[in-house]
Amino acid sequence: MILEFIERLSNLSYPLRPPGALPEDDFIDRCIRCRKCAEICPYDSIIMAHGHRGLKMGTPFIYPQKIPCYLCEDFPCIEVCPTDALQDVQDQRDVAMGLAVIDESLCLPFNGIICRACYERCPIYKEAITLKDQLYPVVQKEHCVGCGICEQVCPTNPKAITVVSAHK
Amino acid sequence: MQKLEHILYRHLNRIRRTMQWLALLFIVFVPILNVWGFHEIIGTFYSLTIGSLNIVDPSLMLQTILLSEQVKFGLLLAGIIPLIMALFFGKTFCSWVCPFNLLAEYTAKLRVKIFRNQTRSVNINPKPQVYWFILGGIFLLIGVLGTPLISYFSFPGLISAQITDTILFATVGIEWSLIIAVLLIEFFYKPRFWCKYLCPVGAVLAIPRFKNSLSVQYESKRCSVQCSADKSESLCNTACPFELNPRKTDIYPYCFNCGACVYVCQNNGGHALKFTFHPEKPIHSNHKSLKQEELYKNEPSAQTTTNLQEV
């Protein structure tokens, strides 16, 4: 029963982890909650989980609606991680944090209003988000890294494009 | 050299308290400097990076190795640095740096002030096996549950991480309740039980020990008569925060070299207790009457009255 309880506590949510993060379970095992990634992040994108995330409290995650990951060239967060919970990433395109998902009932172009916010701001420009018929944004799964910039710039409320963790 | 030692002993408690507060200031200023854009020093007491030097709490290093079943060279190196320090200085980190110890010391002080007639258990040094059994149990539990328990129960790290969170994100974490719960138990029920028995950080730091590790050395023939060498209720016994008897050899691995016993002994006429890197078996001479007056002829007159509040 205790095991079940802990299991439940530790699986409350799958937050978006910083670049290079191991799969969720391995990440939880490795991460020692040292806060170095949050301290070094130049955009203050990385924030810390609180008690409402159960036993995941103190682990780093990104809340893209507020500040997304801007995919630094040299990934300082990965560099400072002492336990390799964040593994080396060669290139921006190799990051696999998450995947953007479009809710077509909320997305403006699908409702007859022209909007290219996510398409224009996507760092994997013209590859991760493409335009179908020059109008409708489509996420290309194999190219999207899950940085969350599209979620932040999306003008609708609630957001029509959201990023889910790659480890969900 | 002798003179320096004398000055050190005279101000031992004050120097230590200053160090503790400086350590606390340090962990407050690291995130503040980070916010200002200075990134040469980053981290908490879980893990600290100073320039290119990487340090990791060795208990967390062991936990990571156990849980990930992988040994990474960088991590091993970062965790071994504190272990080497501990090899020479013992658990000095706990008594001189750890912020939880600072809180626990003030809690114990408050307890003495409020419950004046507290009974103090007779100082019998607990068996080292108890200590290692608890540490082994913690690691066994981590292995069985697959949960990084030490991340929640490494109090120096937890406190510094919470301070960092407060400065970076202006939040107050629920983790404080753990610390407050332990402090409340210490206040009402059992003073200093956490540091003495349970803390995994201190326990891992207690593992490396060899014959030249910093130790408290007892020499019975210099033990002052006024302080009653034979009784269990002597100054050094009463001063020890862990209720250890420093006149026995077996204070390790429990003793964390805070020097409270050395301080009271050195400053109250006796010079029987001292810090040394070359500990011998406690020197129990049978000639206890060995002309005490002659021994202390050249030294400041023994003060019989002490203010334990100050200790």
Q: Confirm whether B282 is domain-assigned.
A: no
**Length of chain B as a residue count:** 311
Q: Confirm whether B215 is domain-assigned.
A: no
**What percent of chain B is modeled with pLDDT above 90?**
42
Res B288: pLDDT: 44
Res B289: pLDDT: 41
pLDDT at residue A5 is higher than 70: no
Q: Is the CB of A72 inside 8 Å of chain B's CB atoms?
A: no
Could you say which of B39, B64, B165 has the minimum Cβ distance to residue A83?
Answer: B64
**What percent of chain B is modeled with pLDDT above 70?**
84
The residue in chain B having the minimum alpha-carbon distance to the alpha carbon of residue A35 is B43
pLDDT at residue B116 is higher than 90: no
Res B120: pLDDT: 64
pLDDT at residue B300 is higher than 60: no
For residue B134, what pLDDT band results from cuts at 50, 70 and 90?
A: very high
Q: Is the CB of A67 inside 8 Å of chain B's CB atoms?
A: no
pLDDT at residue A32 is higher than 80: yes
Q: Confirm whether B232 is domain-assigned.
A: no
What is the mean predicted confidence (pLDDT) over B177-206?
92
Res A136: pLDDT: 93
**What percent of chain A is modeled with pLDDT above 70?**
92
Is the CB of residue A73 less than 8 Å from the CB of residue A160? no
Q: Which residues of B touch A72 (CB under 8 A)?
A: none
The residue in chain B having the minimum alpha-carbon distance to the alpha carbon of residue A59 is B151
Q: Is the CB of A3 inside 8 Å of chain B's CB atoms?
A: yes
What is the mean predicted confidence (pLDDT) over B7-36?
92
Res A75: pLDDT: 92
pLDDT at residue B286 is higher than 70: no
What is the token pair recorded at B59? 């208990």
What is the token pair recorded at A117? 């916010």
Res B119: pLDDT: 60
The residue in chain A having the minimum alpha-carbon distance to the alpha carbon of residue B33 is A39
What is the mean predicted confidence (pLDDT) over A144-157?
92
pLDDT at residue B307 is higher than 70: no
Could you say which of B34, B72, B168 has the minimum Cβ distance to residue A84?
Answer: B72
Say which range, A88-97, B202-211, B231-240, has the weakest mean pLDDT. B231-240
Q: Is the CB of A11 inside 8 Å of chain B's CB atoms?
A: no
Round the average pLDDT of chain A to a whole number and report it. 88
Res B304: pLDDT: 39
Q: Is the CB of A80 inside 8 Å of chain B's CB atoms?
A: yes
Is the CB of residue B124 less than 8 Å from the CB of residue B246? no
Other beta carbons less than 10 A from residue A74's beta carbon: 7
pLDDT at residue A90 is higher than 80: yes
CB–CB contact A26 B31 (8 Å)? no
Q: Is the CB of B59 inside 8 Å of chain A's CB atoms?
A: no
Res B91: pLDDT: 92
Q: What domain count does chain B have?
A: 1
Q: Confirm whether B153 is domain-assigned.
A: yes
For residue B228, what pLDDT band results from cuts at 50, 70 and 90?
A: low
For residue B309, what pLDDT band results from cuts at 50, 70 and 90?
A: very low
Q: Is the CB of B77 inside 8 Å of chain A's CB atoms?
A: no
Q: Is the CB of A154 inside 8 Å of chain B's CB atoms?
A: no
What is the Cα–Cα distance from A93 to A89, expressed in whole angstroms? Answer: 9
What is the Cα–Cα distance from B164 to B159, expressed in whole angstroms? Answer: 9
Res B231: pLDDT: 60
Res A166: pLDDT: 83
Q: Confirm whether B7 is domain-assigned.
A: yes
**Which single residue is written with the structure tokens 């290119």?**
B52
Q: Confirm whether B280 is domain-assigned.
A: no
Q: Confirm whether B230 is domain-assigned.
A: no
Res B219: pLDDT: 83
What values do phi and psi take at A63, rounded to 5?
Answer: -110, 90
pLDDT at residue B185 is higher than 70: yes
What is the mean predicted confidence (pLDDT) over B196-201?
92
Summarize pLDDT for B47-104 with one digit per residue, the tens. Answer: 999 988 999 999 999 999 999 888 889 899 999 999 999 999 999 999 999 999 999 9
What is the token pair recorded at B243? 């209720």
Write the ipTM. 0.82
**Length of chain A as a residue count:** 168
Find the domain containing B107 and state its range: 2-206
For residue B265, what pLDDT band results from cuts at 50, 70 and 90?
A: confident
The angle subtended at Cα B269 by Cα B265 and Cα B272, nearest 5°, is 45
Res A9: pLDDT: 54
Following DSSP, what letter does each residue of chain A receive, concatenated? -HHHHHHHHHTS--PBPPTTBPPHHHHHHH-----HHHHH-TT--EEE--GGGGGGTT-EEE-TTTS-----SS-HHHHH-TTSSB---SSGGG--SEEEEE-TTT-TGGGT----HHHHH-SSTTTTEEEETTTEEEE-TTT-----HHHHH--SSS-SEEEEETT-
Q: Confirm whether B13 is domain-assigned.
A: yes
DSSP conformational letter for B283: B
CB–CB contact B60 A39 (8 Å)? no
What is the mean predicted confidence (pLDDT) over A140-155?
93
CB–CB contact A30 B67 (8 Å)? yes
CB–CB contact B64 A58 (8 Å)? no
What is the Cα–Cα distance from A25 to A77, expressed in whole angstroms? Answer: 19
Report all structural domains of chain A as residue ranges with CATH numbers, in order of start: 2-80 (no CATH), 95-165 (3.30.70.20)
What is the Cα–Cα distance from B218 to B224, expressed in whole angstroms? Answer: 12
